[in-house]
Structure 1
Amino acid sequence: MKEQLLNLAKQRRSIYALGRNVNASEDDLANLIKETIKWAPTSFNNQTTRAVILFGDSHEKLWDIVAKRLKSEVPTEEAYQKTLQKINSFKSAFGTVMFYTDMAIVHRFESDFALYADNFKDWAEQGQGYAQFAVWTALAENGLGANLQHYNPLIDEEVKAAFNIPDNWQLRAEMDFGSIEAPAGDKEFMADEDRFKVLK
């Protein structure tokens, strides 16, 4: 069996020690991310996934927004300092992809295909999963690490104002990426017999 895709998937890990020792240009990385998302599947080919790709000051601005927003959510200063350390590790990366769902498209398909209306939000989430996995794997193929964060909906309004995000775009995840400064640890798996059935 050919295992090129499987081997690439094995390279895609949650890398938290990220840096800016990146040889690829911002334009090349942006094009890679855009093309990868374009080729990720969506239900009815409705293309609900949107992305905002941040580099430089814009990348840092996002994580400053996260840090400021969480200040009011963390109960103690000690806990906040730990949170801030984590956020600063994301800020130390080379860039961030903010993944969005265009809810206007979701609602249009709910109206146009009433028989399946209850499914389009779920299917849009599946589209998000495809796109996020594909981008993550494409970055890994090019020697870059990434991790996926979910500070939405806490930061939604601040981010929308800061980056001029359309009202109908719903933030689903934030993926910071950069050079791999330390590898991921070993990955553990549950027993196959608890997870899979093969029937013949």
Structure 2
Amino acid sequence: MPSSTDFLSALKNRRTYYALKSESPIPDAKIQEIINQVVLHVPSSFNSQSTRVVLLLKGEHEKLWDITRDVLKGIVPEEQFPATEQKMGAFKAGYGTVLFYTDKPTVKGMQDKFAIYADRFPVWATESTAMHQLAVWTALELEGFGANLQHYNPLIDEKVSATWGISKDWELASTLVFGTPVGEPGEKAFLPLEERVKVFGA
């Protein structure tokens, strides 16, 4: 049986990689299976299952970052756009993108059903989506990918929905770019645990 040491080692090794190339160490079917298993088994409040996921690979992945570049071109000042375009090119150079969504009708249904917690369900849905992000990210890195998490919502939401026929009821939370890493992650600093953890009764 796997131990907590294995799990914690996977968490420790999950890092942000920006330098990626469009190669995969595993078959596309394995990537899809990772997504499926995460969606099935990551928890949600009241088992509401509010998270939705879209997987874009190869040309479809590249199309997403072309869309994002074009949207940003209309927003970013002209003199700053070359840096933005370079950043979009770095994301496009990866192998795929996972888009994480929250299904708004599911959240609304839970609010109606359990009115006493109505103000909490959007928060809990966000927490569940975040757990999906971490689980997919960690699993992909265990398979040899590098990844980084991006947030260009809501700027790209409308064009993304139109391009892939995604329901307007799905609210985009984040995009996880992944590919074979061609560089190392940056240094990571940690605040003292004494400032972040308290233990009583041990």
Whether contact under 8 Å (2:69, 2:88) holds in the other structure is: yes
Show the counterpart of 1:100.
101
SS of the residue 2:49 aligns to? coil
Partner of 1:31: 33
1:34 and 1:94 mapped to 2: Cα distance? Answer: 18
Taking the TM superposition and a 5 Å limit, the aligned residue runs for 1:168-179 are 168-179=169-180
- Alpha-carbon deviation of 1:67? 0.1
1:15 aligned to which of 14, 17, 25: 17
In structure 1, the residue corresponding to 2:69 is in which secondary structure?
A: helix
2:46 to 17, 39, 44: 44
Q: CA deviation at 1:31?
A: 1.4
CA distance in 2, matches of 1:140, 1:13: 8
CA distance in 2, matches of 1:158, 1:141: 32
Deviation of 1:2 after TM superposition, in Å, equals: 3.9
Distance apart, 1:20 and its partner CA: 2.0
Contact 2:22 / 2:58 at 8 angstroms: preserved in 1?
Answer: no
- The DSSP-based 3-state class of the residue aligned with 2:167 is coil
Whichever residue aligns with residue 159 of structure 1, its letter is: V
Question: Do 1:103 and 1:169's aligned partners in 2 also have CA atoms closer than 8 Å?
Answer: yes
Aligned position for 1:73: 75
Shift of 1:30: 1.2
Instruction: Write the distance in 2 (CA, Å) between the matches of 1:2 and 1:127.
Output: 21
Structure 1: 5+ residue stretches without partners: none
> Counterpart amino acid of 2:30?
D
Is 1:56 the counterpart of 2:58? The answer is: yes
On the 8 A contact 1:37/1:135 being kept in 2, the answer is: no
Segments of 4+ moved more than 3 angstroms: none
Match of 1:111 in 2: 112
TM-score by length of 2: 0.95
Shift of 1:80: 0.5
Distance in structure 2 (CA, Å) of the matches to 1:136 and 1:120:
24
Partner of 2:186: 185
On the 8 A contact 1:37/1:134 being kept in 2, the answer is no
Q: SS at the partner of 2:118? A: helix
TM-score, scaled to structure 1: 0.96
Instruction: Show CA shifts across 1:45-91 (max 9, x none).
Output: 111100110012211110011000001211233x1110111111110
Give the match for residue 135 of structure 2: 134
Count residues with an aligned counterpart.
Answer: 199
CA contact (8 A) 2:55 2:98 kept: yes
RMSD across aligned positions (CA): 1.2
